[in-house]
Structure 1
Amino acid sequence: MAYFSKAYNYKDLGLLIGRIGLGGMMIFHGLPKLMGGPEKWEALGGSMQSLGITFLPTFWGFMAGFAEGIGGLLIVLGLLFRPAAILIILTLIVAAASHFAGGDGWKGAAHAIETGLAFFVLFFVGPGKYSVDKR
């Protein structure tokens, strides 16, 4: 019983490590999209067609890069944590839908689904005490 109470004391450290890892990977994937400019945004925003949304592809592409790049930074910091998690989750839903629509199946969509589920869990658990939101 004593072991479990001690292990529970590391919950916030685990959340910090998870935030840094997942948020860092989102930054890694998102910044090139965000810095790619309007041509890149339009191509990326075309993924919204898999959900039947065909208007404003440049805006949607920019939002995907923003959600991943800036949202990832917010996740790492634990600042505006839940709004950032929601933006990332929505982006990953579109990514998974795009893979399915492109014929990639579960194997192609798996990474987006797995990462989306991790952010979904983080959304409910919160950023932990080692975050800007808790300060």
Structure 2
Amino acid sequence: MKSPLAGLSKFDFFGVLLLRIGVGAVLAFHGYPILTGGGSVWTDVGKGAAIASLPPSFFEYAGLASGILQFIGGILLIIGMFTRGTALLLSIVVGFAIANLIAAGSFQLGFLAHLQMILALLGLVFIGPGRLSLDRKGI
């Protein structure tokens, strides 16, 4: 017997679009306050991704880079531009966040949310932008 949902496979491109928009919106929404937060926020975010022997200015730059990547990368995912490269860079940023949570011994909801985000981003690296994107060849 054929599944009643089997006909939805004709619309697989729409699933990729929803994935891109959802992940991109969450990352842009999370990155905007970091980007606009200023030096103290950048330092707080950057300290988690850095080694203690590095100069203090590195922490600020690492936090700023994280905010820029999350905000701009989220927007790029939404519109479907440079999808694979953007998803790969964002998965590295989320990977640093996961490493910080593991180092802190925090395996609560934040850890699970980051784990889900990195899995979705790595999925986009392999799936690609889908049919409804600016990355699509042959437009």
TM-score past 0.5 threshold: yes
SS in 1 for 2:49: helix
d(CA) in 1 for partners of 2:108, 2:52: 20
Structure 1, unaligned stretches of length 5 or more? none
Letter in 2 for 1:36: G
Letter in 1 for 2:115: I
d(CA) in 2 for partners of 1:53, 1:31: 28
- Greater gyration radius: 2
Instruction: Report the equivalent of 1:60.
Output: 62
d(CA) in 2 for partners of 1:68, 1:117: 16
Contact preservation (8 Å) 1:96, 1:110 = no
Number of aligned residue pairs = 133
Instruction: Report the equivalent of 1:22.
Output: 23
Instruction: Report the equivalent of 1:72.
Output: 74
Alignment identity in percent?
A: 29
* Structure 1 runs, 4 residues or longer, greater than 4 Å off: none
d(CA) in 1 for partners of 2:39, 2:52: 21
Query: 1:7 aligned to 2:40?
Result: no
Structure 2, unaligned stretches of length 5 or more? none
Contact preservation (8 Å) 1:45, 1:59 = yes
TM normalised by structure 1 equals 0.88
SS in 1 for 2:90: helix
Letter in 2 for 1:28: F
SS in 2 for 1:9: helix
TM normalised by structure 2 equals 0.86
C-alpha distance 10-59 of structure 1, shift in aligned 2 (>3 A): same
Query: What is the RMSD of the two structures over their aligned residues, measured on CA atoms?
Result: 2.0
